[in-house]
Amino acid sequence: MGKLDIRSLNFTELTDVLTNRGLPKFRAVQVYAWLHEKGVSDFSEMTNLPKALRETLAEECTLHNCKIDTKLVSTLDETVKYLFELGEGEYVESVVMKYKYGYTICISTQLGCKMGCSFCASAIGGFRRHLLPSEMLSEILTAQRDLGVRISHIVLMGTGEPLDNYDNVLRFLELVTDEKGLNISMRHISLSTCGVVPRIYDLAEKRLGLTLSVSLHAPNDAIRSKTMPVNQKWSVETLLEACRYYTEVTSRRISFEYAMIDSFNDSDACARELASRLRGMLCHINLIPVNTVREKNYQKSSEDRLRRFSQILEQNGLTVTVRRTLGSDINASCGQLRASKTQRR
Ligand code: SAH
């Protein structure tokens, strides 16, 4: 049997594990604090435990630490990109961005991705496996420790489709927001999905208070299906219906991501069609000039196009922002560093 993934247990489960071995309950309080509040990377750091207990834990449990393989720091805006090694020759990437309100980390939720969006570097190399709750936590703990700062915001927008790793992501959210742990507010967490419709309904029922981002990238099925295979399973209308349901149940605004690709989805007609489909919805649109990934030949829309597109949306009563590009000198968008590492291998 494999070792116990102790950092993925919640407090109740950890307490059961330890008390079943005849240990007093306060040991669970101590161990949980080391794992989640202090974020140790080794059992030997748990200095208020008896040495014998530390040794037993080390024998029977594993911490699934991320090790820093590569760290790139942007000279433009202090964005830091990490390529972490997870063992077994697997790599995962995270990006830390500095904003006026604090540090935000963009974490990966899977090794690779099944969704196959044609503009996205995460699809390169295919899907390897889901990340465990402990591994997602370790992305944050490792970056935080390395930088010596407190990370206050999380976006689940790195490699992978969070709603395709639903149970692990939900457990991760439970642990990372725990007052006895990293204690990051649910209001400071965004989860981005390409549109796994049944899971959007499930997530709505949880009423978590996080921000749901939906990668729309097109106003209709004809355009969306060309770049996003997921659209063949759940059409734009099916997706928008789930989004409407989500906003009704949670009263939370949805953020639609729209990557602007030159002469593909950035015409005035696209903007008008998008506006007519989203009108009246509790939402916000985030326009992103598509990031050119070396392996793909999509080009960014021009500044003029972006301005005109957002103007049309605004004239139709929608709220729009154009996402600022951070870390452009270090290839900071998702999947690119991992893809280059995987290809070198
Ligand atoms: N699987 C999730 C989260 C990961 S991708 C999702 O699809 O939402 C995070 C965001 O980056 C998504 O909106 C995705 O569509 C976008 N993205 C991927 N590749 C991009 C690129 N080359 N340029 C701009 N945005 C991109």
Mean pLDDT by 10 residues, the chain (345 residues): 94 98 97 97 97 97 96 92 93 95 97 94 88 98 97 97 98 98 98 98 97 98 97 98 98 97 97 97 96 80 96 97 78 67 58
Q: How much distance in Å is there from the Cα of 320 to the middle of ligand 1?
A: 17
Q: In this structure, which residue's CA is closest to atom 5 in ligand 1? A: 157
Q: What is the pLDDT of residue 345?
A: 47
Mutate to test the pocket of ligand 1, among 215, 264, 296 (most ligand atoms within 8 A of CB): 215
pLDDT of 323 reads 81
Burial class (CB in 10 A: 0-12, 13-18, 19+), 297: exposed
Report, as residue numbers or ranges, the catalytic residues. Answer: 93, 334
CA 238, 118, 215, 175 dihedral sign is positive
Q: Who contacts 247 (Cβ-Cβ below 8 Å, separation ≥6)? A: 253, 254, 281, 282, 283
Intervals of CATH 1.10.150.530 along the chain: 4-62
* pLDDT for the residue numbered 101: 92
Confidence (pTM): 0.95
Q: How far apart are CA 244 and CA 253, in angstroms?
A: 10
Minimum CA distance residue for ligand 1 atom 19: 120
Range(s) within the chain of domains with CATH label 3.20.20.70: 67-344
Q: Which CATH class is domain 4-62?
A: mainly alpha
Q: What is the pLDDT of residue 333?
A: 63
- Residue 270 pLDDT: 98
303 φ/ψ angles, rounded to the nearest 5 degrees: -55, -40
Closest alpha carbon to 14 in 23, 47, 179:
23
Nearest CA to ligand 1 atom 17: 120
CATH class of 67-344: alpha beta
How would you write 131-154 as a 3-class SS string?
Answer: CCHHHHHHHHHHHHHHHCCCEEEE
Q: What is the CA(288)–ligand 1 centre distance, in A?
A: 10
Beta-bridged to residue 300, according to DSSP, are 261
Mutate to test the pocket of ligand 1, among 161, 166, 192 (most ligand atoms within 8 A of CB): 192
Query: Ligand 1 pocket: which residues have CB below 6 Å?
Result: 115, 117, 119-120, 157, 161, 192-194, 215, 257, 259, 288, 290-291, 293, 333-334
Q: Which atom of ligand 1 is nearest to the CA of 292?
A: 22
Ligand 1 centroid – CA 214 distance (Å)? 10
Q: Which residues of 39-54 are buried (b: 16+ CB within 10 A; e: fewer)?
A: bbeebeebeebeeebb
> Is the separation of the CB atoms in 73 and 80 below 8 Å?
yes
Residue of 114, 334, 336 best suited for mutating to test ligand 1, as the one with most atoms within 8 Å of CB: 334
